Amino acid sequence: MRFTRLSLSMLMALSAPALAIEVDGRIDPAEWQGAQHITDFRQVQPLTGAPASQPTEAWILATPDGLAIAFRNVQPASVPRTRQRVQRDFDEQVDRVNLMIDFDGDGRTGYNFTVSSTGGISDAVITNQNEFNDDWDGNWRHAVSEDADSWSVEMLIPWYIAPMRKANGGTRTMKAYLDRVIGSTGERSAWPAASYERPRFLSEFNRIEVPQYSQALLAVTPYVSGLYDNVGGSSDYDGGVDMFWKPNGQFQMTATVNPDFGQVESDDLVVNFSATETFISDKRPFFTENQGLFEYTTPSDYSQLLYTRRIGGPADDGQGSGDITAAVKINGSLGQTKYGLFMADEADEVGRSFRALRLVRDLSQQNLGLMLTQVDRPYFDREATVLGVDHNWRPTPRWNVRTRVFGSRIDEAGDRHSDLGATLWADYEMDRGWRQQWIAMHFGNDLQINDAGYLSRNSTNYLHWEVRKRFAEQPQTSRYSSKEWRWRASSNHNNRGEHLSDQFRMSREGRLRNGSYEYAQININSAGVDDLLTRGHGSLKVPWRWNAYYEFQRPRKGNWAHELEAELITGGLSGSDKVGYSFDYQATYFISDAFSVYGGVYGDRTPDWLVWQYDNLIGSFDGREWHINAGMNWNIGSRQELRVKLQALAVDARQRQAYRVMADGAAVRSDEAIDDFNLTRLGFQIRYRYELAPLSYLYVVYARGGSALERQRDDISGLLRDSFELRDNEQLLVKLAYRFEI
């Protein structure tokens, strides 16, 4: 009865006639009359559940224009305020508030809206309970104001921001989470006292009832771009259009024609001589717009059935990238079932066609979904089909269980291959900060999902058991505010009966009272085999090895911020006999709150680096790698930013010994010649961005880069200097995109 009365009072308050909210950061009591008023904010970082150290108030009010949220954050002079200006989708440790909303209240997909005390914003999609993806950008309103003892935020989230199921009657049931972070200490206080550090987060949001509102939107974003190639001496001009149409809450369509994926965003330079592919997230607007429904992941790192970087990625003939002609994405709901359709086509005879279907049914304690992808690759006479079923089950407040079963069918040049994969991920929350986790994975030998998806490897049978203990309350004399210890044991075999490795891992995560973060980890790996190194020409027996890793991040204090990573590592055929190392240090200096410069250096040495040559021939090298990372960020105003980014790297590998991998897995010394080699790469970008209107931008980008791989010996410092002379490409790009809303 008490819960019923509380729900009715909340509904009556949120159903009261809503005045228009003027989003100016000043909380006018008349505007917020009838809103739900929240004051019970509890500490969730550290996860003590104690009342927040500084009072925080929030208001929630549904209006015809959108869901309105306000925060008033008490912060007296004794608690330093962070004045740092930040770019969109920032991750700096600054004063900020977060609104997280699950519009359907089913624990499937949430949306995070963040506002800093200086007016910077970030937005992200939440899936799989606690996984955040900030590649998505939404169009929503916000404002900040402050006085001597507090600062305030107002937000207005339009109803067209995301697809929503049709509500019953005149009310909508949603789930909400609000939190506030104090930048100088890292303390996070929230309502409710839920934490994304736990396996259950999204489903723990508080249920709220609001009046049913709906908004329609048609947005058209045409673009024009011009590119000058200073190396080839040529120019290129292009144009296209993106469209977003939402006639009601139950249907939403996005489409793009001749999309431009010019280099307004630059990926980090990577070095990868391994047999597994490097995962790179997608920042292209069409592919990030309400992509959460298509999330189908497994416990294997970054794995997913629809990896949108495949679309417009390297062409099947090896000549450049695929040319996307058009793509369309539809999200909607029919009753309690959500659906999604995705289609994209590339041009020319080497172009590929991508299709995906997603169905999801959400119940009170579980979610059931189906995912189907299909890729047609005429250049290879290949058609790849993948079908998966996913199930998320929350039988009690302590248990969170996620299962996946999926299979692939490949038709190529008249041959057909099929196989299956399955995963189980179970978390159990115990008392007094203890938690257990079990993961099991099986991927068949012929499981192939990488035509449309991403899987680092198949032929896997993996088990692990992990125990964690959280120490949320530390003595006041301790420099730590919280600590968490983890112990894990795992075993991995392939489907040919070979033992890949057993591992024991121990780690500790610490959060300091000054807002810093610390993490340390030790891995001990048993002897086993490496079945990927020779690319199918035999499995190599490897001895036991270990590694130790340490990470420290100190947010801005005064004019400086620091990040440090260091590792000791063993491996190769030497096992634990030869110890390599790596270190990565970066410092940021703030000339002002809006203008900062940074510089860093990375270096490593791998004394027994195994690199595949051809067939079953491998080489052992003494490898060194150095990086230089530097740049500047200038937030010129609320609409302008200038960014400079420089990355240079050099790799020097000096041959030690050649080996042939025998049928029994043994490595036998060979007199065959293997050469020293070195690699240099450069990436340099100057980017100016001006925001003309929400999601409408003018970009001016200068970029230069190059790569060189040579079979010779050189000094690592000389190679790094040489990288600055690389000039495989040098381009000037101007792009204008303007969003018209109807």
Return the higher-pLDDT residue of 735 and 265. 735
Q: For residue range 128-160, list pLDDT tens digits in order.
A: 899 998 888 899 999 999 999 999 999 999 999
Q: How confident is the model at residue 285 (pLDDT cuts 50, 70, 90)?
A: confident
Average per-residue pLDDT for the chain: 93
DSSP of 482-545? EEEEEEEEEEEE-TTS-EEEEEEEEEEEEEETTS-EEEEEEEEE-SEEESSTTSSS-PEEE--E
Task: Output the pLDDT for position 14.
Answer: 44
| Helix (H/G/I), strand (E/B), else coil: 375 | strand
Domain parsing of the chain, residue ranges: 2-215
Give the model's confidence band at 262: pLDDT under 50 very low, under 70 low, under 90 confident, else very high.
low
2-215 to CATH, choices 1.10.3720.10, 2.60.40.1190, 3.40.640.10, 2.40.30.20 = 2.60.40.1190
Output the pTM of the full model.
Answer: 0.90
Does pLDDT of 459 surpass 70? yes
Please write the tens of the pLDDT for every residue from 26-65.
999 999 999 999 999 999 999 999 999 999 999 999 999 9
pLDDT score at 169: 81
* Spatial CB neighbours of 68, under 8 Å, sequence gap ≥ 6: 18, 21, 23, 32, 35, 59, 60, 61, 62, 154, 155, 156, 157
Does the structure show a pLDDT above 80 at 9? no
Q: Is the pLDDT of residue 290 over 50?
A: yes
How confident is the model over 302-315, as a mean pLDDT? 93
Contact indicator for 655, 670 with CB cutoff of 8 Å: no
pLDDT at 264: 72
State residue 731's pLDDT score: 94
Task: Give the tokens for residue 475.
Answer: 């003595």
pLDDT digit string (tens) for 65-120? 999 999 999 999 999 999 999 989 999 999 999 999 999 998 888 999 999 999 99
State the pLDDT at residue 17. 45
Q: How much of the chain, in percent, has pLDDT values that exceed 90?
A: 83
Q: In sequence order, what DSSP letters do the residues of 138-190 get, joined into one string?
A: ---EEEEEE-SSEEEEEEEE-GGGS--PPPSTTEEEEEEEEEEE-TTT--EEE
Answer whether residue 166 shows pLDDT above 50. yes
Looking at residue 285, the DSSP 8-state letter turns out to be H
Q: Is the pLDDT of residue 10 over 80?
A: no
For residues 412 and 385, give the distance between their C-alpha atoms in angstroms, rounded to a whole number. 11
Residue 4 pLDDT > 70, yes or no?
A: no
Say what the pLDDT of residue 135 is: 82
Q: Binning pLDDT at 50, 70 and 90, where does residue 712 land?
A: confident
Lowest mean pLDDT segment, chosen from 179-188, 292-301, 375-384? 292-301
Place of tokens 């510089």: 599
Q: Would you place residue 261 in the very low, low, confident or very high pLDDT band (cuts 50, 70, 90)?
A: low
